[in-house]
Amino acid sequence: MQTLENKTSLIWFRNNLRIHDNSSITKAITKGKKVIAVYCFDPRQFKMNRFGFKKTEKFRARFLIESVSDLKNNLKKHNIPLFVYLDKPENCIPNLVVNHQVTEIYLQEEWTPEETSVLRKVKNQLSKNILFTTSYDQFLFHPLDLPFKIEHLPNVFTDFRKIIEKQINVRPICKDYLINFNQPKINNTTKIPSLTDLGFEDFKTHPKSAFPFKGGETKALKHIQHYMFNTKNLGVYKNTRNGLIGTDYSSKLSPWLANGCVSAKLIYYKVKQFEKEYFSNQSTYWLVFELIWRDYFKYLSLKNGNLIFKIEGILDKTYPWLNDNDIILKWIEGKTPEPFVNANMIELNKTGWMSNRGRQNVASYFAKHLKLDWRIGASYFEILLLDYDVHSNYGNWMYVAGVGNDPRDRKFNIKSQAENYDKNGSYQRLWLKNTLF
Per-10-residue mean pLDDT, the chain, length 437: 66 98 96 91 95 95 98 96 98 97 97 97 96 97 97 95 97 92 94 98 97 98 98 98 96 98 98 98 98 98 97 95 97 98 98 98 98 98 98 97 83 96 96 66
CA–CA gap between residue 380 and residue 323 (Å, rounded): 14
Reported for 355-360, long-range contacts at CB under 8 A and 24+ positions apart, including other chains, are 355/210, 355/242, 355/243, 355/244, 355/249, 355/250, 356/241, 356/242, 356/250, 357/242, 357/243, 357/244, 357/417, 357/421, 358/244, 359/396, 360/396, 360/400, 360/412
Closest C-alpha among 124, 123, 39 to residue 86: 39
Q: Are 46 and 198 in contact (CB under 8 A)?
A: yes
Alpha helices in 21-154 (DSSP H): 23-31, 58-76, 89-99, 113-124
Asked whether the beta carbons of 361 and 414 are under 8 A apart, the reply is yes
Residue 244: how many other CB atoms lie within 10 Å: 24
Cβ atoms of 361 and 313 closer than 8 Å: no
- CB distance 134 to 107 below 8 Å: yes
Indicate yes or no: pTM above 0.85: yes
Quote the pLDDT of residue 434: 56
CA 34/CA 10 separation, integer angstroms: 9
Read off the pLDDT of residues 7-18 as tens digits, 9 standing for 90 and up: 899 999 999 999
For residue 135, the 8-state DSSP code is E
Instruction: Give CA angle at 331 (362, 406), nearest 5°.
Output: 30
> Using CB atoms within 10 A of its CB, is residue 314 exposed (0-12), middle (13-18) or buried (19+)?
buried
Tell me the pairing of strands 102-108 and 8-12: parallel
Cα–Cα nearest to 289, from 397, 149, 183, 161: 161
